[in-house]
A and B are shown apart, each in its own frame.
Chain A
Amino acid sequence: MHLLYIFQDPLGSNDSKAGKTSHPDVRLGVYQNSYSARSHLAQFDYAFYGSKKAVDNLEKAIKTDFDWDIEQDGRGFSEWIGHHTSAQVLEKVEDIIEGYRSKVKKIPEKFLPLNINNLESFKEWLTDTE
């Protein structure tokens, strides 16, 4: 399973992260590592799924499109889009998907936000659907 995910800074800024993963459970765990689940449960506000190539190329297109809004390069920085809520990033990503005709699909609302609690049911749904 290859995902392109978007989530907003859980500490309150209007910055958001857009990234990709083939192991969403591991990725969510990595983010959860930095804070207690009692404070915040790591989640993807929105996500898209598709083939590895489609997701890789979509991520490249997003990085190109946001360009200056990604204020810093380097590990841990290069996926943070400044001054954009996750909803604003989503809107732009949907434009990119339309303009590039990317072959990805949005994860249904019923699984959003995607977190460690509903990830398994999403995977089951995906297996049944695809």
Chain B
Amino acid sequence: MNTTQQFLATAPATQRKYNKKQAIREFVSKFKIQFDMKDDAIDLRTMANNYDNGIIPLEDIHRALLTVLGPNFKPQAFDYDPSEGVEITIGNGTALNPKFAYINWDEAYLWPIFQRDVAPNHSGKIYGDFDATCVIVPCAIKFTIKGKVYYCIWDGHHTIQVCRLKGYNKFPVWFIDTDIIADDIIVKAGFNPKTERIEYGCWLAGHNMIRINSKNKRKLSPYDEFMIKLETRDADAVAMMNILRKSNCTPKRHATMAGAFTQIKSGQECFELADTYGNKGQYWDRALNFHRTVWPKAPLELEVFRPLSILYHKAATQGLALDAQFDKELEALLVDTYGDPSTVQETIKESYWDAYYNNKGTGRPAEHDKTRVVDGMINLYNQKVNRATLPPAEYIWKV
């Protein structure tokens, strides 16, 4: 019995219908430090705090995956050693594929029927950032045509070209050898093993190329990218984190806690707003401080901290000093008029659309929500307080 079977066998028996939330809760309760487990992400950074050195055994992540996937997900729970090659699919299984090899450059080919065009600028980009320690092994399919061997790359073409530019004379490939695939496997895929072995190889390579680069590609989320940059001491990420910490904000994938910062890209945009000397971050810093002071239990609301950052930046650029009293006035205005931060921005936007569709406003209509809320805040302040001089709203309406 392998670990998956053991886990499934020892999982608590219950007569009740499976409930994902309870299963997750039970799993997480075994850990001293609790962490989020959702369909789109298990919070491994927090989970890691339960382990010495912050290094998690893959088996524990495997169990977490099984918990979230639930009992309807049937893993292949048998011992399987692929180190000598694996059967490509269910068949008689004489083909031990794929294999690893170092090949010569004159054995490396590209068959455009299952590869995308090559991008010189992408190759140049990889070249500029090249590091021999991060070369991922290109994937290939091996054909023999009229006695000549061809290793045709179906993934990692740019990488292998950059290796060539870097002077490699041997190239690592992870390849499927079509010559040794059993006939019945080719038949099962709908090809004639006697006359269409190469066509079968092309189909397999093309299919895999789409699988890897499109169908099953999981794009790196802005949150993960930010957290990795932070760990690797990227200057902007570290500066952003310092600003977030000042206001007791935490980068999170989901807005599940007070001060949770989830809109990473937009946060970066706000951070980039610089003063005339090029100093970044001060307007975002002030906006976050405002948000956390006014709504201490709420997660950060994008369409509140972003318009505020823009407003502070615009005012400074135009030489308009917005003093601390302005923040007090704006706080009272927003809280008395709308209350919580979601209601603030949602109602301002509704008010904008009402003015826009009913021709109640003047000036240039905004093209983006962030500008709508900036204009809404300016208009509201001018209509209700009108003490400090604010930058002019581009679209004026009665909020």
Contact = CB atoms under 8 A, between A and B. Distances in A.
A71 B347 CA distance: 32
A71 B17 CA distance: 13
Q: Which of A54, A101, A102, A103 has the most CB of B within 10 A?
A: A101
A95 B298 CA distance: 11
Given A72-B22, A73-B21, A101-B340, A53 B258 contact: no
Contacts of A102: 339-340, 343
Nearest to A101: B335
Contacts of A104: 339
Interface residues of A, number: 25
B347 A53 contact: yes
A85 B338 CA distance: 30
Nearest to A68: B25
Given A64-B255, A72-B19, A103-B338, A95 B297 contact: yes
Interface string B329-373: 000000100111111001100000000000000000000000000
A3 interface: no
Interface residues of B, number: 23
A103 B21 contact: no
A71 B25 contact: yes
Contact of B297 (A53, A70, A71, A100): A100
Which of B256, B297, B341 has most chain A Cβ within 10 Å?
A: B297
B340 A58 contact: yes
B22 A100 contact: no
B124 interface: no
Residue with the highest number of chain A CB atoms closer than 10 Å, among B19, B294, B298: B298
Contacts of B166: none
Nearest to A64: B256
A59 to B, nearest CB: 11
Interface string B14-36: 00000111100100000000000
B295 interface: yes
Contacts of A95: 297
Given A54-B339, A100-B341, A101-B335, 19 more contacts: A50-B339, A53-B342, A53-B343, A53-B346, A54-B338, A61-B340, A64-B255, A64-B256, A64-B299, A68-B21, A68-B25, A72-B22, A73-B19, A99-B297, A100-B297, A101-B340, A102-B339, A103-B335, A104-B339
Interface of B: 19-22, 25, 255-256, 258, 294-299, 335, 338-343, 346-347
29 contacts: A51-B343, A53-B343, A53-B346, A53-B347, A54-B338, A54-B343, A57-B346, A58-B340, A61-B298, A64-B255, A64-B256, A67-B256, A68-B25, A71-B22, A71-B25, A72-B22, A95-B297, A98-B297, A99-B297, A99-B298, A100-B339, A100-B341, A101-B294, A101-B295, A101-B335, A102-B340, A102-B343, A103-B339, A103-B343
